[in-house]
């Protein structure tokens, strides 16, 4: 069927020339002298629904069944104020036609175009609501803001309000999922993590693979994940959509946007594998999480409180970090670029990670072969004392840190960014933390390193080594002028090479007198790992990045400035973002 259609349509007493081409639906106001005025152009993929008659859904649904009218609902962008991404709202326009026949032609053509251009739109979704996440508004958010939109788009959803932690994960691991196109969580990063673990585990079970086997080539998950943000940090939502807004996220789900996401597997020899996408953090971020768990009753504020307590406790931890660098010719964590919707680095990675698949459909049948140490260089080993060690598969931007832990990290390039913050004086570390809240470069500090990696190993020192550190005057020891703060060794091809030695006096460390009292308390020898908001029950770990292991109903952060400029230039309200992942 030819999808194109063109005719005059009316909105009130204004006449429009409406055109449906393959990819766009446009309407241009025409004045009395037949001159074109403003055009609105909507990509067909962003049409939410088409209804006969004059239909409204807010504040509640009403249908006036007039036989020459039809209503089009579509995605309309607006600036988000503070955040980098754009807010999406439901746009609505009610057209009148010259005849009922023409009206039926328009609704039929638009619906057919929708089916043709949005193959990933979900029809049936499994929705998990955490009633206790964030400010405990999950149920309200879903029923008042999201469910009416799903209904309008003809999506049927099976909703489960969770009664315990890990219910969603267990459901995905064990129950029948036939007929569902995607899974949605209404909650925060912890709920997303449940879906992540459930879906990855289920996919490996069905592929006959053992996910705990470090040699297993994990299979990408066929079901998409949608996130309706209702948590405390909502980092995964923020970093993949650019705003924390349930309506925006619901619209991305409805139109079947598809954003692949890298996942880091975290293993300890005998323990069950865990997965992380946003923050695998040891030292500061591990301690903040452990402290914050004692204050869950504070809600989202628990992280601010715990962050302050942990910062003042002035801890650092020793350990050995080994990492396998990614190919430096492809990208760098300090190249000042940002991964935005349609990112070319991620698109090229899709070709590299799935060389034999020409479209996303066959992507799921291709086998993974991305972890090939030979092509990415050799393991590097560093040893010393760290304020924190963080590994993130994406920028991990959130409201606290709008550019994130690693602003130039990519969502779907098959790599993670490893940030090593060596022990330093408290004001230096405060400067590092504070830079996360602005556009200042947090990596441009002498005690900070960032590496783009494919895999990481960490081991904490044995009890004896730690004791030796204390004896030479570590953080808890007495003043030692010229004390060696850390020893940075690099092991290449087996030979250990001394790289740097930085002298920091006790006075420098305790430049602020009140901090001296706190820092001179004995530090615990080991911290804990924060794995996307969950404390890991082990310290020594082996991590590997699995490129594009899952897919979200998202498209990455839209460049608001570019869209606004193009609107001004074209007098178009909207442009189509190329989504190379579709
Ligand atoms: N019914 C429930 N009762 C208790 N805990 C639950 C329930 N449902 C889910 N959970 C657990 O609650 C934890 C926290 O939930 P969630 O991530 O939604 O909110 P949050 O911690 O406030 O936000 P964020 O993770 O963004 O910081 C999750 O790890 C999840 O396993
Ligand atoms: C002087 C100002 C200091 C400001 C410090 C700003 C640093 C902010 C960086 C935030 C990075 C968040 C990364 C995402 C982590 C999530 O997977 C996890 C679960 O939701 N959240 C936390 O661990 C919660 C982590 C909270 C850390 C404070
Ligand atoms: Ca990545």
Q: pLDDT per residue over 190-200, tens digit each?
A: 999 999 999 99
Q: Per the structure block, which two tokens stand in for 274? A: 């865990």
Beta-bridge mates of residue 72: 50, 93
Task: Please check whether residue 445 is in contact with residue 431, taking contact to mean a CB–CB distance below 8 angstroms.
Answer: yes
CB contact at 8 A, 36 and 29: yes
Block residue for tokens 């933390």: 433
Asked if residues 312 and 518 have their Cβ atoms less than 8 Å apart, the reply is yes
- Nearest to residue 197, comparing CAs of 215, 208, 212, 217? 212
CB of 287 closer than 6 A to ligand 2?
no
Ligand 2 near 278 CB (within 6 A): yes
* Alpha-carbon 579 to chain mean position: 17
Q: Which residues contact 284 (CB under 8 A, 6 or more apart)?
A: 310, 311, 315, 387, 388, 421, 429, 433
Residue whose CA is at the smallest distance from ligand 1 atom 14: 190
pLDDT, residue 270, reads 78
| 306 phi-psi bin (left φ>0, alpha ψ -120 to 50, beta other) | alpha
Residue with tokens 């991964």: 339
233 lines ligand 2 (CB under 6 A): yes
| 279 CA to centre of ligand 2 in angstroms | 8
Spell 410-432 as b/e; 16+ CB within 10 A means b.
bbbbbbbbbbbbbbbbbebbebb
> Does ligand 1 have an atom closer than 6 angstroms to the CB of 485?
no
* CA–centroid distance, residue 214 to ligand 1 (Å): 28
Quote the ligand 3 centre to 524 CA distance (angstroms). 32
Which residues line ion ligand 3, judged by CB < 5 Å? 262, 393, 410, 413, 415
Contacts of 442 (CB under 8 A, 6+ apart): 432, 435, 436, 448
Residue 189 is among the residues annotated as catalytic for this protein = yes
Pick from 259, 279, 266: which is nearest to 413 by CA? Answer: 259
CB of 194 sitting under 6 A from ligand 1: yes
Output the pTM of the full model.
0.87
Q: What Å distances lie between residue 317 and 238, 388, 390, 504, 506, CA to CA? A: 30, 8, 13, 16, 17
The 10 Å Cβ neighbour count of residue 495 is 7
Please name the residue whose Cα sits nearest to atom 29 of ligand 1: 190
Using CA atoms, how far residue 182 sits from 46, 63, 155, 235, 470, in Å, is 19, 29, 11, 20, 52
pLDDT of amino acid 570: 46
Q: 377-432: per-residue pLDDT in tens? A: 799 999 999 999 999 999 999 999 999 999 999 999 999 999 999 999 999 999 99
Atom of ligand 1 nearest to the CA of 300: 22
**Token representation of residue 342:** 């349609």
Which residue is catalytic, options 181, 189, 245, 262?
A: 189
Residue nearest to ligand 2 atom 1, measured at CA: 434
Enter the tokens of residue 576.
Answer: 């189509």
Ligand nearest to the CA of 409: 3
The pLDDT tens digits along the chain (582 residues) read 567 899 999 999 999 999 999 789 999 999 988 899 999 999 999 999 999 999 988 777 788 888 999 999 999 998 766 667 899 999 999 999 999 999 999 999 999 999 888 889 999 999 999 999 989 999 999 999 999 999 999 999 999 999 999 999 999 999 999 999 999 999 999 999 999 999 999 999 999 999 999 988 999 999 999 999 999 999 999 999 999 999 999 999 999 999 999 999 999 987 889 999 999 999 999 999 999 999 989 988 999 999 999 999 999 999 999 999 999 999 999 999 999 999 999 999 988 888 876 544 434 333 334 444 445 579 999 999 999 999 999 999 999 999 999 999 999 999 999 999 999 999 999 999 999 999 999 999 999 999 999 999 999 987 655 555 454 444 333 333 223 233 333 332 333 333 333 323 333 343 333 333 344 456 689 999 999 999 999 999 999 999 999 999 999 999 876 665 555 444 333 433 333 322
- Nearest-atom index, ligand 1, CA of 233: 26
**For strand 54-56 and strand 259-267, is the pairing parallel, antiparallel, or unpaired?**
unpaired
Domains delineated in the chain: 5-119 (2.30.29.30), 120-256 (3.40.50.10330), 264-353+377-545 (2.60.200.40)
Separation between Cα atoms, residue 404 and residue 391, nearest integer Å: 12
């Amino acid at each position: 069927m030819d999808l194109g259609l063109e005719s005059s349509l009316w909105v009130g007493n204004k006449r429009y020339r409406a055109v449906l081409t393959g990819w766009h639906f446009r309407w241009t106001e025409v004045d009395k002298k037949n001159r074109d005025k403003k055009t609105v152009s909507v990509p067909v993929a962003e049409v939410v629904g088409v209804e006969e008659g004059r239909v409204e859904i807010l504040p509640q649904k009403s249908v006036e069944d007039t036989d020459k009218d039809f209503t089009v609902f579509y995605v309309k962008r607006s600036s988000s104020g503070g955040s980098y991404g754009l807010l999406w709202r439901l746009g609505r326009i009610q057209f009148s036609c010259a005849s009922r026949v023409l009206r039926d032609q328009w609704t039929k053509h638009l619906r057919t175009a929708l089916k043709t251009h949005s193959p990933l739109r979900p029809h049936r979704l499994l929705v998990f609501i955490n009633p206790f996440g964030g400010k405990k508004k999950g149920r309200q958010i879903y029923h008042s803001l999201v469910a009416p939109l799903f209904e309008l788009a003809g999506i049927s959803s099976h909703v489960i309000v969770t009664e315990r932690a890990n219910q969603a994960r267990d459901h995905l691991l064990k129950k029948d999922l036939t007929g569902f196109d995607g899974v949605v969580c209404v909650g925060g990063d912890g709920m997303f993590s449940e879906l992540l673990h459930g879906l990855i585990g289920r996919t490996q079970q069905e592929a006959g693979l053992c996910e705990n086997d470090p040699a297993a080539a994990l299979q990408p998950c066929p079901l998409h994940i949608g996130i309706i943000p209702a948590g405390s940090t909502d980092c995964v939502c923020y970093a993949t959509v650019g705003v924390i807004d349930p309506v925006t996220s619901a619209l991305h789900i409805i139109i079947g946007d598809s954003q692949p996401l890298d996942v880091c597997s975290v293993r300890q020899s005998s323990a069950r594998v865990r997965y992380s996408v946003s923050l695998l953090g040891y030292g500061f971020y591990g301690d903040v999480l452990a402290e914050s768990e004692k204050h869950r009753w504070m809600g989202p504020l628990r992280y601010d409180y715990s962050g302050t307590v942990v910062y003042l406790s002035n801890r650092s931890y020793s350990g050995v970090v080994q990492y396998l660098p990614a190919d430096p010719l492809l990208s760098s964590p300090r190249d000042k670029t940002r991964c935005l919707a349609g990112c070319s680095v991620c698109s090229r990675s899709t070709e590299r990670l799935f060389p034999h698949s020409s479209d996303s459909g066959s992507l799921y049948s291709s086998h993974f072969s991305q972890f090939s140490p030979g092509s990415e260089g050799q393991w590097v080993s560093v040893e010393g004392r760290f304020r924190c060690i963080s590994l993130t598969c994406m920028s991990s931007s959130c409201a606290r840190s709008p550019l994130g832990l690693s602003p130039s990290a990519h969502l779907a390039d098959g790599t993670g960014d490893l940030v090593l913050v060596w022990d330093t004086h408290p004001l230096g570390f405060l400067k590092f933390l504070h830079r996360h809240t602005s556009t200042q470069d947090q990596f441009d500090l002498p005690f900070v390193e960032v590496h783009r990696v494919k895999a990481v190993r960490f081991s904490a020192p044995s009890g004896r080594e730690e004791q030796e550190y204390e004896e030479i005057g570590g953080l808890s020891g007495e003043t030692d002028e010229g004390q060696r703060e850390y020893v940075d060794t690099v092991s290449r091809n087996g030979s250990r090479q001394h790289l740097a030695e930085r002298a920091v006096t006790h006075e420098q460390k305790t430049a602020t007198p009140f901090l001296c009292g706190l820092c001179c308390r004995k530090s615990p020898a080991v911290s804990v790992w924060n794995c996307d908001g969950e404390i890991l029950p082990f310290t020594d770990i082996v991590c590997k990045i699995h490129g594009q292991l899952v897919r979200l109903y998202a498209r990455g952060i839209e460049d608001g400035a570019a869209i606004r400029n193009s609107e001004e230039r074209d007098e178009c309200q909207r442009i189509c973002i190329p989504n190379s992942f579709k």
